[in-house]
Amino acid sequence: MEYIEKTIKKGIKVHSLKTNKFKTNLIAIFLTSELSRKTVTSNALISAVLRRGSKNMPTQEEISKELEELYGATFDCGIDKTGDNQVLKFYIESINDKFLPQKDENMLKTSIEKILDIVFNPLIKDEAFDKEYVAQEKENIKHRIEGKIDNKARYALDRCIEEMYKDKPFGLYKFGYVEDLENINEKNLYQQYKDLINECKIDIFISGDIDDNIESIILENEKVKELKEREPKYNKESEQEREKHGEITEKMDVNQGKLVIGLDVNTQSEDEKYYTLVYNNILGGSANSKIFQNVREKANLAYVASSNYFRYKNNIFINCGIEISNYQKAVDLIKIQLEDMKKGNFTDEEIENAKKSIVAIIRTIDDEQDTGITYYFGQELSNNKTSIENYIKKIEGVKRENILDVANKIDINTIYFLRD
């Protein structure tokens, strides 16, 4: 996979991922802005309204019809939270021109035009979004926000993050808040859309068997020509002092307790993030990890036991599904695993297994077009460009003393427990 990036206007980039591994082209547009309580709900709603129709394709039925004529191309969109940023994501996947029955068609150009139309040429009536679309999507997003309690494990993780980052951007829920929906209408939502499009960081990714002049298709697009240069407001990875929040218990109608322990990783350098990846894999990132083996398998205290490293915020979150009566035993045993890591009670075999596990995952990045795009977008946001080959070398070069050093820079911030 050959990666090329080009700035077409200040704050707007085109990223090309050239590969002949796939029969399809995947085009993605990411709109990135700072997470803010003032705009988080509106931005989530904008993503949903845009997919309902554009000026040239005013209904979902029309969009579906156009996609069907592109030999069954697919379109999708969504919202993500990456560090302190909210990202609106739009995707269109279509067959590569080389596999078309008629060689005079330009499927890539048409696909790019369709997704640019959806994102940058919305259906507008009297300086407002379609009133019916906005009303329907407000109801849909309300149900989505209210339904976040349905997945108790995810809810517990979100609540732990919310407590750790109280009154800070990362603590916000990516789909926003029900109480904010009431004041949103088709007019002020369109104004927020215009503000977003004029200020956000815009990244356009194209993955597939493509030529060197791919950005010319985008540059010649009328809606792209109208976009202004900008100083995009978005947050790179940042370290910050975090207030400790201790133990928090929340009660709900649940049969199984959900335990989430938020850890602060007090490292500074970029290399230490690679060390932390290996540390996390040994701690709870695989089926061979200390938490999985000691808390779940040997002590039989958890149905689920794992940990995940959030590199954008330099946190590790330990997640366990436990019998409610086993809460203190599970917490105490997890603390022992953390202390063992600080003492260096892990073997060379555990280190090698962790590195092999991580490298195996890295090697699959270019096996899927969307994972390749996600990888390079993450690099773009963190402003730290590392090739997949160099990424592997960094992991393979992690030593015992590096892991031990990270282990002693980690402490518990918040213990969150969801119980009956």
Tens digit of each residue's pLDDT (9 = 90 or more) over 102-155: 767 789 999 999 999 999 999 999 999 999 999 999 999 999 999 999 999 999
pLDDT-above-70 percentage for the chain:
98
Task: Give the CA distances from residue 230 to residues 10, 193, 281, in Å, rounded to whole numbers and listed in that order.
Answer: 6, 15, 40
Predicted local confidence at residue 102, as pLDDT: 73
Domains and their CATH numbers in the chain: 2-226 (3.30.830.10), 246-419 (3.30.830.10)
Predicted local confidence at residue 303, as pLDDT: 95
Predicted local confidence at residue 420, as pLDDT: 92
Sequence-distant (≥ 6) Cβ neighbours of residue 10 within 8 angstroms: 229, 230, 231
Answer yes or no: is pLDDT of 245 > 60. yes
Q: Which amino acid is at 195?
A: D
Sequence-distant (≥ 6) Cβ neighbours of residue 95 within 8 angstroms: 23, 24, 25, 70, 71, 72, 73, 107
Q: How do 12-18 and 2-9 pair as beta strands?
A: antiparallel
Predicted local confidence at residue 233, as pLDDT: 82
- Bridge partners of 86, per DSSP, are 33, 81
Answer yes or no: is pLDDT of 238 > 70. no
Both structure tokens of 177: 């808040």
Q: Give the lowest-confidence range in 8-22, 73-87, 205-219, 275-289.
A: 205-219
Mean pLDDT calculated for residue range 181-196: 98
Answer yes or no: is pLDDT of 239 > 60. no
* CA atoms of 74 and 361, how far apart (whole Å): 26
Mean pLDDT calculated for residue range 392-413: 98
Sequence-distant (≥ 6) Cβ neighbours of residue 415 within 8 angstroms: 246, 247, 248, 259, 260, 261, 262, 331
Q: What is the pLDDT of residues 51-104, one digit of tens each?
A: 999 999 999 999 999 999 999 999 999 999 999 999 999 999 999 988 887 767
Predicted local confidence at residue 237, as pLDDT: 63
Predicted local confidence at residue 240, as pLDDT: 58
Answer yes or no: is pLDDT of 183 > 80. yes
Predicted local confidence at residue 241, as pLDDT: 62
Burial class (CB in 10 A: 0-12, 13-18, 19+), 104: exposed
Mean pLDDT calculated for residue range 17-21: 94
Answer yes or no: is pLDDT of 165 > 90. yes
Q: How do 246-251 and 410-419 pair as beta strands?
A: parallel
Answer yes or no: is pLDDT of 43 > 80. yes
Both structure tokens of 86: 């909210």
Q: What is the pLDDT of residues 343-381, one digit of tens each?
A: 999 999 999 999 999 999 999 999 999 999 999 999 999
Answer yes or no: is pLDDT of 316 > 90. yes
Q: Give the lowest-confidence range in 19-28, 137-146, 166-175, 227-236.
A: 227-236
Mean pLDDT of the chain, nearest integer:
95
Mean pLDDT calculated for residue range 175-191: 97
What is the pTM (predicted TM-score) of this model? 0.95
Mean pLDDT calculated for residue range 236-249: 76
Predicted local confidence at residue 388, as pLDDT: 94
Q: 224 or 240: which carries more pLDDT confidence?
A: 224
